[in-house]
Structure 1
């Protein structure tokens, strides 16, 4: 179990304080979903929707890059 989970509703990392998903959690997610990239995209898409509701003040493009922009 990772310590790099999101702290809601501000979506920071509980392990390092960086914006979630942090670099460590991204690497963990890549490993966890290595054989299921579509599932990873769906999971992060659902996180993006939740974060958009929690952080209505944040620009949509910024949140998109943060949650999905790092996927290959």
Structure 2
């Protein structure tokens, strides 16, 4: 179980305080979903949708890069 979960509604990492998904959580997610990258994309897409609601003040393109732009 990860210690790098999001603190909602700001989507900050509960361990390091960086924007979620932080670098540590990204590595965990890549490992967890190594056999199923489409599932990772769907999961992160769902997180992006929630984050857009929670952080309506944030630029949509920045949120998209943050939640989806790091995936291979």
TM-score range, shorter chain: over 0.9
Name the TM-score, length of structure 2 as normaliser.
Answer: 0.99
Q: C-alpha separation between the residues in 2 aligned to 1:60 and 1:68?
A: 12
RMSD between superposed Cα atoms in Å: 0.3
Give the gaps of 5 or more residues in structure 1: none
Matched, 1:14 2:14: yes
Matched, 1:39 2:42: no
Matched, 1:57 2:28: no
Number of the residue aligned with 2:66:
66
Give the gaps of 5 or more residues in structure 2: none
Aligned length: 72
Q: C-alpha separation between the residues in 1 aligned to 2:15 and 2:35?
A: 26
Name the TM-score, length of structure 1 as normaliser.
Answer: 0.99
Matched, 1:30 2:33: no
**Following superposition, which runs of at least 4 residues in structure 1 exceed 2 angstroms of deviation?**
none
